Amino acid sequence: MELLRNLLSRTLGLGGEKPEKVLEELTLEGVSRFLQSERCKNVVCMVGAGISTSAGIPDFRSPGTGLYSNLQSYDLPYPEAIFEISFFKEHPEPFFALARELYPGQFKPTVCHYFMRLLQDKGLLLRCYTQNIDTLERVAGLEPERLVEAHGSFFTSHCLRPGCRRQYGLPWMRERIFSSLVPKCEQCQGLVKPDIVFFGESLPSRFFSLLQSDFQQVDLLIIMGTSLQVQPFASLVSRVPTNTPRLLINKEKTGQSDPLMSLMGFGCGMDFDSDKAYRDVAWLGECDKGCLELAELLGWKKELEELVRKEHAAIEAKATQGGSGKAGGGKDEAGGGSQAPPPKSGGVTETPPPLTQWGCGIK
């Protein structure tokens, strides 16, 4: 009863404690001023496919990318099978053929990736939760401990035999992918799979262990390039303290709760526009542009542009040195060609949605 009254009072504004309004105004300027204040020490970023599209990485959900027709040539019982763990164990070839096709030559991290790098360098980034499997956060220089790759990545691979589970690195896997060999464990000849989360697999334990404390400490949540449609990732936005401002940088508004649900007290979704809006800010457009605009307000724009220029030049120089085009490059090269198949709910992935709904990012 107490709970119900609290919920009602919070939702209908019938007394009770009102959440504090931390931002002076619900705009990018408001967020920028808060970011520069003493109060903002821990920023958590949640990102999806939309931050990598400007790097040229195709989104599974966009039918125009050719991914559709590619899949048809793999003789799959249905398209989703290519990312199902049970199918993969029997027929790994289609997945590795796709991985070869999508393997990036030299994907460069985007302005948005380097904006997060700046947050890290300035000691403000508590954690980046990414749904992407392209490893571009690592390439951009985010430290592994600052990173939660919620849907796994190509960065490491493991032997699938439970008694073995030997780990392999990206160069090892890349070599096999490009020699069109199905990767077999050197120790036991078991099948080796990149550590991306397939349908039917759990999310990494790191996701569940870190979110508990991260989402209690977070002073500012920045959500970029994701339509927040994939669980359990999407539910993270509702885990922040009630005073914590949330900034969405995306092509469209997302994450708002259903009006009826919100009336019933389950109003943890984003609220950008209602009379009660007090902490959520939406900046609509390309992620890179949003980050540049925020950087400008923060007085970081020059620094950000210089970082992008320097890092991109270094990647290009390395590619020229490596010389071998697609398969060249070092260990920190981008590893995956696309976004991970999205887990549906709970910890374990369920039957995947139709292909048109794949991808964890923006439409």
Binding site for Zn ion (CB under 5 A): 159, 161, 164, 166, 185, 187-188, 190
Q: How far is the CB of 191 from Zn ion (least distance, A)?
A: 9
Structure tokens at 292: 């540049």
Q: How far is the CB of 92 from Zn ion (least distance, A)?
A: 14
Q: Is 219 exposed, middle or buried (0-12, 13-18, 19+ CB in 10 A)?
A: buried
Annotated binding site for Zn(2+): 159, 164, 185, 188
The set of residues, in sequence order, having a beta carbon less than 8 Å from that of 20 and lying 6+ positions away, is 243
Q: How far is the CB of 168 from Zn ion (least distance, A)?
A: 10
Calpha distance 219→34 (Å, rounded): 9
Do residues 48 and 128 lie in contact, with contact meaning Cβ atoms separated by under 8 Å?
no
Residue 91 bears catalytic tag: no
Calpha distance 215→338 (Å, rounded): 27
Calpha distance 161→252 (Å, rounded): 43
Q: How far is the CB of 172 from Zn ion (least distance, A)?
A: 13
Beta-strand pair 220-224/192-196: unpaired
Beta bridge partners of residue 222, listed in sequence order: 45, 247
Phi then psi for residue 80, to 5 deg, are -65, -20
Beta bridge partners of residue 148, listed in sequence order: 129
Beta bridge partners of residue 256, listed in sequence order: 270
Q: Which is nearer to Zn ion, 190 or 341 (CB)?
A: 190
Annotated binding site for NAD(+): 49-53, 59-61, 131-134, 226-227, 250-252, 287
Compute CA distances 310 → 63, 111, 146, 184, 357, whole Å.
34, 12, 22, 38, 36
Contacts 24+ apart (CB under 8 A), 21-26: 21/278, 21/279, 22/243, 22/244, 22/245, 22/279, 23/245, 23/278, 23/279, 23/281, 26/272, 26/277, 26/278, 26/279, 26/280, 26/281
How many other β-carbons are positioned within 10 Å of the β-carbon of residue 102? Answer: 17
Of 91, 113, 151, 158, the active-site residue reads: 151
- ∠ at Cα 230 (61, 32), nearest 5°? 95
Q: How far is the CB of 188 from Zn ion (least distance, A)?
A: 4
Q: How far is the CB of 162 from Zn ion (least distance, A)?
A: 10
Calpha distance 164→148 (Å, rounded): 25
Task: Tell me the catalytic residues.
Answer: 151
